Structure 1
Amino acid sequence: MSWKTAHRSFYYANAEEPEDIRLDPASTALLVIDVQNTYLEPKETEEETRRWEPFYSRMRETVIPNNARLIADCRQRGVEVIFARIACHKPDGRDRSLSQKKPGFNYLLLPKDRADSQVVPELAPRDDEIQVLKTTDSALTGTNLRLMLRNMGIRDVICTGIFTDQCVSSTVRSLADESFGVVVVEDCCAAATMELHRHELAIINMIYCHVVELRELRDFFVSA
């Protein structure tokens, strides 16, 4: 099944196939969202760590290697590579949004210079690559990413990262609302479970973005 018919929700089950995607490297950016050290660390208990093992496996075996390949390909093509990461400026985290202060899974205290808030080493940004620090789910909300994209002449954004149903989805929706073309690379993303991952892809596909596989993405780039 190709990207044109995969990940269809009820709303788009009978919709016509979309037109071919064409990405000009000069006006395209890759946005890697929240692939940070903290999310690969063991949980507080062995039982909870075991519960998250399918996510860890997908990250190690699929998401991180595929993102590394995609980043290398984008750098070679001249596509702007940008990283977003959750990171607060104040050590006590009082600059965080309410969603990151609430107890539970979304509670995050990640001071910007601490090791666990950094992008994983396998995907380390280069010195001239933008890192957007955010205290929100969406990488556009509360940051100047929107302005930077416009300043650089970016029209299309390729989104990857975690979590599909949270920060990836929020960012995709924000980008779509700002009239950017958005492509989400399915096998460069992960949610806590594959059920959540697939469900969210069906929700955002066709209206906020187009969901594709990494193997398909390479055919979308136009030659200079």
Structure 2
Amino acid sequence: MTWKTAHRSFYYEGAPEPADPELKPNETALLCIDVQNYGMVLHDDPAERARWAPFHERMRGKVIPRLQALQQQFRDNGLDVIHARIACQLEDGRDRSLSQKLPGWNNLLMPKDSEASQIIPELAPAPGEIVVTKTTDSAITGTNLRLILSNMGIRNLIVTGIYTDQCVSSTVRSLADESFQVILVEDCCAAGTDELHQQELAIINMIYCHVMSSEELRGLMGLG
């Protein structure tokens, strides 16, 4: 099974296979979403640490090394790598969107200069790469990224990062609504559980994006 037939939802079970997308180098960029220090901290509570163990195993064993390699291949081929991160401008977080103020797991208070809000060292921006800071789930809604992409002539976004069912999905949907062509690299993303990850891939595939592996993307783009 290839990306053309995998991750099909109920709505697209019988849909024809999509054509290969045309990804011109000068119109294509890699977007890395929210792989920040806060998400990689191990819980002090043993039960919570055990509950999140599969996520950390996926991140360390698959997502981080594969995304790191993809970033380097884009750089080596002269393609743009863009980064988005969650952080608030004010120390007390009054500038955050409602979704990041409500009680619960997604209540993120991370001032822009805090250690928790920084992108992890393995995936840190190279000198000169664009980094947008958002107080929303979507990197389009909460920043001037749409204008930046338009000014750069970018029409195709290769999306990666965490969490598949939250900020990644919100960004993918926003990009699709703005008529960008979106490729989601499934092995360079993760959700809290693999079940959530797989569910969201099926939900957004073929309507908001095309879901494929990093290997399939490299073959499609001719990245060596």
What is the TM-score normalised by the length of structure 1?
Answer: 0.97
Cα separation, 1, equivalents of 2:70 and 2:194: 21
Question: Could you tell me how far 1:122 is from its partner in structure 2?
Answer: 0.4
Question: Could you tell me how far 1:123 is from its partner in structure 2?
Answer: 0.7
Question: Which residue in the other structure is 1:181 paired with?
Answer: 181
The code of the aligned residue for 1:139 comes to: A
SS class of match (1:117): coil
SS class of match (2:104): coil
Cα separation, 2, equivalents of 1:44 and 1:85: 24
Question: Which residue in the other structure is 1:208 paired with?
Answer: 208
Question: Could you tell me how far 1:142 is from its partner in structure 2?
Answer: 2.4
The code of the aligned residue for 2:129 comes to: E
Matches within 5 A, 1:145-160: 145-160=145-160
Note the residue ranges of structure 2 that are not aligned, 5 or more in a row: none
SS class of match (1:171): helix
Matches within 5 A, 1:90-129: 90-129=90-129
Cα separation, 2, equivalents of 1:14 and 1:68: 35
Aligned length: 223
Note the residue ranges of structure 1 that are not aligned, 5 or more in a row: none
User: Stretches of 4+ moved more than 3 A in 1?
Assistant: none
Cα separation, 1, equivalents of 2:68 and 2:15: 34
The code of the aligned residue for 1:59 comes to: M
Question: Which residue in the other structure is 1:47 paired with?
Answer: 47
What is the TM-score normalised by the length of structure 2?
Answer: 0.97
- For the 8 Å contact 1:31–1:84, the answer to whether it is kept is yes
Question: Which residue in the other structure is 1:221 paired with?
Answer: 221
The code of the aligned residue for 1:157 comes to: L
Which digits, 9 at most, give the CA deviation of each residue in 1:84-127, with x for residues without a partner?
Answer: 00000001111100100111110001111111111110011012
The code of the aligned residue for 2:103 comes to: P
- For the 8 Å contact 1:25–1:222, the answer to whether it is kept is no
Aligned-residue CA RMSD in angstroms? Answer: 1.0
